[in-house]
Structure 1
């Protein structure tokens, strides 16, 4: 069956949705970003980049099933893409070298299974969030160390970079460099809701305090 011809107007609208989606993504309005990227991909279903952007936004929202479906669509359109190998690994049933190292080392160190799961989730999201950027994994131990260190920091565990570096047999600088990559790409914060595994998240108190302050300010400004 012949593909439907895509008009110039449809391409223009798709581009506009892409711009608005990128803006929403940067502002952490993830639902809006997903909506715009979805609309862009529907208007121009032959443009693989829209599916890649959609996958990134879905991964950030925690909807990994839909993110993987978007990536599958990308690979159908771009089977020869240099990114294909990285994305194909996301569909594998087994663990990759980084995940094996994380599981072994964190388990041996007595880290909870919830935090190990959070580290694996962070690795999955990072590989999707990189989008069209190249991922170089020369030494899996370095990435595993950075993920372990970052997850422990997010969960407010007493941990030193030197100890993590020694645990994985890598340099402190390598751990810090890869940690910076994770934080910058995923916009990770202390007690980040995506990776915090405790029962009570300290950020909840900040949200409550901000809401209370807003109410007090409104009352203060009443005529």
Structure 2
């Protein structure tokens, strides 16, 4: 079983094939993030700890502070490799590599990381991406290793179905949830999975274990851990849930 340590928000650390992977690093203290001269997003809680060694950052996207904050950006300069979106890699520089959908990179130890679809809002990618930006999820595989899926900021169950069609059941799914909403975007519809959708994603994936993150520490997240537990209980999957 892959051991996952959750730090709050979208940030989790896990070891896989001898390498240490960190998802969307957010280590700032609570505070406000301005956008266009106005208050944008508000972080409400500090991280639950710090990290001292990371081999690879799996960054779903770099454009929003609730996925990459100031401390997270500083951390990237110390990490040998950041895997992210193609446009994000251009912005972040030579330690970052972009992965398009279904594009893979081989790492030491026989680990393969594949970029997989993610849509940061309701509806079609062509309608969503110009507003919320390009996002990528990840699937990790290797000989003798369990399959791990990291969703990133994805709101599409159709994307999840595409992923399971290619990779089959996964062992561990690290699912971003929290139903974040911005009233002026998409009529206030969730920008990432809500709790019921996270449970449905776990069912679609056939996940032996689901670690649900991205459901605390930010004011625009409208569902928290209690909602996740209730949804997985209703779906008959509570024995496969790890809330971190």
Q: What TM-score comes out, normalization by structure 1 length?
A: 0.32
Q: Which has the higher contact order (CA 8 A, sep 6+)?
A: 2
Higher Rg of the two aligned structures: 1
Bigger strand share: 2
TM-score w.r.t. length of structure 2: 0.30
